Amino acid sequence: MSLLVMKFGGTSVGNATAIAALAAITRDHLATWDHAVVVVSAMSGVTDLLLKGASTAAAGDAASYKRIAASLREKHAAALAELVPDGADAAATRGPIEQLIDEFELLCHSVGVLGEASPRAIDAISSLGERMSVRLVAAALRARGIAAEAIDATEFVITSPHFTSAVPIQPQTRERTRERLLPLLERGAVPVVTGFIGATESGATTTLGRGGSDYSGAIIGAALDADEVAIYTDVDGVMTTDPRLVPDARVIPAISFAEMGELAYFGAKVLHPRTIRPVVEHGIPLRIRNTFNAAHPGTLVVSAPEANGRAIKAVTAIKSMSMITVEGRGMIGVPGVAARTFGAVASVGANVLMISQASSEQSICFVVPFSASAAVVHSLEDGLANELARRDVDRIWARDDVVIVTAVGAGMRETPGVASQVFGTLAERHINVVAIAQGSSECSISVVVSSADADAAVRAIHALTI
Ligand code: ADP
Ligand code: ASP
Ligand code: MG
């Protein structure tokens, strides 16, 4: 029994033409695979609109969410009318989608009354996009002769109560997913499941974070012991860099889990960083493919890296970062300062993306998202108050407006001089490197540069991949 789990992203369900392409791909795969599960994102732009509805409602603006509701009705109705002929199934699909938009208006109204959108309310609102798109896509598949059934993952992806960035809980998720989906597969149906969303054990809707539908595909693939997980998107595969920035970026035919993990972690939007782990743990092959160029084999993510003769395979950037520096002569040899520093960072829930190799022991530098910068500095000032008073720590400061640019390639481990190539090419272009770090897996080198230099740095390092 072979099973393929396919995840289709926002642009892949963005309009009737895209959904028709999704249906054709599903039909083609059903000729060779025994079973298929389809996981989908919201139609492109919909999650942004839903979130905008929530934030404008919280600010006391009742007109915006009503306008958004009208445009969501129009967008889904237009796609449905094009994909599904008038009749019972079209009507049975239109009704529930309309109800979900009614629910959106009701939730925004409540947010307006409270004057605040709690993380829980945000998740209830942002989950609606996927709940609408599964209904639309399943009806489109049925209209093309595929026995599809729309299903909300809130029924079986059981998560932590961390609203807006929940994580699935095992073994509940695996058990419930198998219980719900295996009987459907056995009777030859194709489940069309919401990406992005789950529910707590007590049934509150959660989301897995922006871009989280990829993660849903991996969670469901792992739970069902799928033979492959295919992520369908709007580019031919994982490329040497973001093609929107460097038009001559090339598709990478095979990339290792470790390399893909670094790329995703350091900002390559093509795959949500959490997607890798569930599939690695179950040894499931992962493929990234193009909905709009179905004949292209895409990128295969494999366990062992494949040498392509280049130490640097790809480059990526993660923007809107801040570099925090804790500086002081008295830090030399004083135990516990680092522990207290990172304790203070953790206490405000900030994510440290990289810790830089300081040139001396006199400072600790690390990078956090800009959005957390002010809170981190305050927390450090509190946590290190004694050191500051004693002048063991002289200064705690944030440099905002920086970007982490990361070169990735398993070949770096064996190739001497990769770092000097990276710094050489940046120096030639007069790009100042603020800090550096090497990934623990030894297949990445990151440099921090100012925002103004970010694109030039990516282009310069990209030239080294050719
Ligand atoms: P989806 O809605 O299908 O999940 P995303 O927009 O989340 O699609 O991700 C696909 C986009 O990621 C591409 O259109 C591309 O612009 C961007 N991207 C960034 N870095 C890379 C990369 N290294 N390889 C391929 N695409 C990349
Ligand atoms: N619809 C969600 C988002 O826009 C999840 C996803 O597309 O992966 O973030
Ligand atoms: Mg995505």
Give the pLDDT mean for 183-192: 98
The four Cα atoms 135, 136, 140, 145 give a dihedral, to 10 degrees, of 0
Stronger pLDDT, 62 or 356, i.e. the higher one:
62
415: pLDDT strictly greater than 90:
no
Rounded to whole angstroms, how far apart are CA atoms 221 and 165? 20
359: pLDDT strictly greater than 60:
no
**Ligand 1 pocket test: which of 19, 242, 270, 288 has the largest number of ligand atoms within 8 Å of its C-beta?**
270
Length of the chain (residues):
466
Give the pLDDT mean for 402-412: 94
Stronger pLDDT, 341 or 239, i.e. the higher one:
239
Rounded to whole angstroms, how far apart are CA atoms 59 and 56? 5
| The predicted structure's pLDDT at residue 389 | 92
332: pLDDT strictly greater than 80:
no
Please name each of the domains of the chain with its CATH number.
3-302 (3.40.1160.10), 314-465 (3.30.2130.10)
C-beta atoms surrounding 88 within 10 Å: 7
Pairing of strands 435-438, 363-369: unpaired
CA of 47 from ligand 3 middle (Å) equals 12
CA of 213 from ligand 2 middle (Å) equals 6
Give residue 140's pLDDT band: very low, low, confident or very high (50, 70, 90): very high
Give the pLDDT mean for 437-443: 81
Pairing of strands 158-159, 205-207: unpaired
- Is ligand 1 within 6 A of the CB of residue 315? no
Distances (CA, A) of 259 to 19, 139, 237: 31, 38, 14
Give residue 105's pLDDT band: very low, low, confident or very high (50, 70, 90): very high
| The predicted structure's pLDDT at residue 338 | 81
Give the pLDDT mean for 441-459: 94
C-beta atoms surrounding 153 within 10 Å: 32
Shortest-distance atom of ligand 2 to CA 130:
1
Name the nearest CA neighbour of 240 among 464, 12, 9.
Answer: 464
Rounded to whole angstroms, how far apart are CA atoms 397 and 382? 13
- Rounded to the nearest integer, the mean pLDDT of the chain is 95
347: pLDDT strictly greater than 70:
yes
Helix (H, G, I), strand (E, B) or coil at 4: strand
**Ligand 2 pocket test: which of 6, 13, 46, 47 has the largest number of ligand atoms within 8 Å of its C-beta?**
47
- Where on the phi/psi map is residue 6: left (φ > 0), alpha (ψ -120 to 50), or beta? beta
- Show the tokens assigned to 258: 């470790």
Residue 434 near residue 448, CB atoms below 8 Å: yes
> Whose Cα sits closest to atom 6 in ligand 2?
211
| The predicted structure's pLDDT at residue 360 | 62
Residue 242 near residue 264, CB atoms below 8 Å: no
Give residue 147's pLDDT band: very low, low, confident or very high (50, 70, 90): very high
Rounded to whole angstroms, how far apart are CA atoms 298 and 443? 22
Helix (H, G, I), strand (E, B) or coil at 156: coil
Give residue 48's pLDDT band: very low, low, confident or very high (50, 70, 90): very high
Name the nearest CA neighbour of 356 among 345, 367, 346.
Answer: 367
Among 129-143, 374-388, 411-425, the least confident range: 411-425
CA of 144 from ligand 1 middle (Å) equals 29
| The predicted structure's pLDDT at residue 357 | 58
Interior angle at CA 127, CA 273 and CA 242, nearest 5: 35
CA of 41 from ligand 2 middle (Å) equals 6
State the Rg of the chain over Cα: 24
Residue 376 near residue 227, CB atoms below 8 Å: no
34: pLDDT strictly greater than 90:
yes
| The predicted structure's pLDDT at residue 363 | 86
Residue percentage of the chain with pLDDT more than 90 = 86
252: pLDDT strictly greater than 60:
yes
Among 215-224, 316-325, 432-441, the least confident range: 432-441
Nearby residues of 369 by Cβ (< 8 Å), 6 or more positions away? 320, 321, 322, 350, 351, 353
Ligand in nearest proximity to the CA of 46: 2
328: pLDDT strictly greater than 90:
no
CA of 87 from ligand 1 middle (Å) equals 37
Rounded to whole angstroms, how far apart are CA atoms 417 and 229? 36
Q: Is the pTM of this model over 0.75?
A: yes
353: pLDDT strictly greater than 70:
yes
- Is ligand 1 within 6 A of the CB of residue 269? yes
Ligand in nearest proximity to the CA of 239: 1
Shortest-distance atom of ligand 1 to CA 240:
23
Residue 445 near residue 422, CB atoms below 8 Å: yes
Name the nearest CA neighbour of 372 among 394, 351, 399, 388.
Answer: 351
Interior angle at CA 105, CA 103 and CA 110, nearest 5: 95
- Is ligand 1 within 6 A of the CB of residue 238? yes
Number of continuous H segments (helices) and E segments (strands) in the chain: 15, 17
Helix (H, G, I), strand (E, B) or coil at 391: coil
Identity (one letter) of the amino acid at 461?
I
264: pLDDT strictly greater than 60:
yes
Sheet containing 35-40, strands listed edge to edge, beginning at the edge strand earlier in sequence = 148-151, 190-194, 35-40, 3-8, 228-233, 286-290, 299-302, 254-256
Give residue 361's pLDDT band: very low, low, confident or very high (50, 70, 90): low
Rounded to whole angstroms, how far apart are CA atoms 347 and 350? 8
> Whose Cα sits closest to atom 26 in ligand 1?
270
